Chains A and B, each alone.
Chain A
């Protein structure tokens, strides 16, 4: 039984990180219809900015987190002005945007490789400190991750539900032309969406790097498909759905290794579980759990 709770706890940790990444992807997709293939590398960018602060300048991990969020938010906004807006102005279609995102992913990731190092890095935190909560063991990193992740989730939920900006974002995601007619400043809302998505990516990147103990710039792509799976599971365009989708996916991935389930899937196949969820959802219920069935 404890094993089940342990797996569930691990699942919540992974799931909340995926959830944070997924909200960013979902918001961007909902408003811009861009499948941001580079999102995983926004996470990596954030993680390495944090590394520079934490290890390079001996800053506290919290300071590093703040730096990660700020830098990635800036990156999000900057790329909107440098890349996404010009592309939209030129009437770039779906495929163009996808290819541009791939190009961006390549550039981001390998700039980080160039500036950082290829060897696995880790943050300056105590990896040996482990807490035992009624039989469930969580490392300090994992607890920090859960704490920050849940705070971020609450903040985002509040932002989307209660603030004017959040309402603009949801309106834009629902029906772009209608929103523009209703007086919403589309361009400004788009920039803020990228800022939010970027900031969230920074957090997610930092947290993932934190719990990985040792990471390289490749971790972003490894997390990207699970993030897409969470977005699709929750319903494309639904930010709340992405949150729920991420948590559910994290739990499913961890629990799939439970040996009460016919021996359990080997732990190396956890990503395959995520990929399979992605494929199954798209085949059986493409609008996801919370999405609207769009007349395509």
Chain B
């Protein structure tokens, strides 16, 4: 393989890792710091992506305005989800949030007039017309790409440009979240994770903070959704399958919860497991076709989860005292 081709491929993997970093960071705030078992996280991503696409294609909004609105709508959705469900016990909360997320996915599949239906946003502009909300983004990306070309020459392809953009945002968000967690606000979140009754007895309005954690997580997931939409031009409800939430959880647990900097590590590791197995041209992988390799990947992810729970609950980088899988 020529260097360019493999660079392209790994740039693509890097973009996915970056998107998942932002998504998993949202989960880190909700689950790693506050202890909320939100299993409908992918729905926030979907709400962010779809809101932006619908506003641009159907309402003619400019891209940046639509993106901000998308984040706001996702936050709103998070509050809507949280208000009735946050008082539920942990395992009930988990099931309820999955149910919510599935409702979102079903609506996305069936409300064809609104969302383009099962084929996704390509059908947003109606039958026969291919919708595109990407124009403004592609222009912006082009200008960044031109700038990059000055620095790295012909390696500045679309995927590499996207890589830089996604990771720039991811790193900013990581810094912000890390700073937020070290504040008194972050301290309250951590106390809720450890013992919400104790936190409550010490004067903290636990419910309000849980809502805030949910809202912040939703905003981050929406940003991940936006990048997903920009990267892939078109997306469909199947892209926001519960599997996506499970992947995000795998990343958070792999890195060791309560450790923000472990999230990108987990995401990159995850990206490598996922994409890297494509190129393993030796047995036993060479015996499997691409469809079968996809199944093997998922089996591996499942075994990783089980293995982590059984043998290393603090994750790869976590400390035993901060174990969340207890």
Contact = CB atoms under 8 A, between A and B. Distances in A.
A–B touching in complex (CB under 8 Å): yes
Interface string A116-136: 001000000000000000000
Give the dominant DSSP class at A's interface. helix
A295 to B, nearest CB: 12
Contacts of B303: 103, 107
Interface string A229-240: 100100000000
B37 interface: yes
A110 B95 CA distance: 22
A93 B89 CA distance: 14
Contact of A93 (B88, B109, B110, B326): B326
Nearest to A117: B291
Most B Cβ at <10 Å: residue of A86, A102, A232 = A102
A283 B92 CA distance: 10
Interface string A244-282: 000000000000000000000010110110011011001
B96 A96 contact: no
Contact of B302 (A97, A106, A272, A278): A106
A83 interface: yes
Interface in A96-153: 96-100, 102-107, 109-111, 113-114, 118
Contact of A225 (B98, B324, B326): B98
Interface size class of A (residues with CB under 8 A): 35 or more
Most B Cβ at <10 Å: residue of A83, A98, A105 = A98
Most A Cβ at <10 Å: residue of B91, B110, B292, B304 = B91
A129 B249 CA distance: 47
Interface size class of B (residues with CB under 8 A): 35 or more
A260 B90 CA distance: 39
Interface string B35-69: 00100000000000000000000000000000000
A95 interface: yes
B119 interface: no
B206 to A, nearest CB: 15
B92 A100 contact: no
A196 to B, nearest CB: 22
Most A Cβ at <10 Å: residue of B246, B301, B313, B325 = B325
B88 A35 contact: no
B312 to A, nearest CB: 11
Contacts of A97: 309
Contacts of B96: 278-279, 282
Contacts of B295: 110-111, 113-114
Contacts of A166: none
Contacts of B92: 232, 282, 286
A183 interface: no
B89 A272 contact: no
Given A100-B306, A103-B309, A286 B99 contact: no
Contacts of B109: 268
Given A92-B313, A276-B99, 9 more contacts: A92-B326, A96-B309, A103-B303, A111-B299, A228-B99, A268-B110, A272-B106, A278-B99, A279-B84
Across the A-B interface, the 3 shortest Cβ-Cβ residue pairs:
A103-B305, A106-B302, A107-B302
Interface of B: 37, 84-85, 88-92, 94-96, 98-100, 102-103, 106-107, 109-110, 242, 246, 249, 253, 291-292, 295-296, 298-299, 301-306, 308-310, 313, 324-326
12 contacts: A90-B310, A102-B302, A107-B302, A107-B306, A110-B295, A114-B295, A118-B291, A228-B99, A268-B106, A279-B100, A282-B88, A283-B85
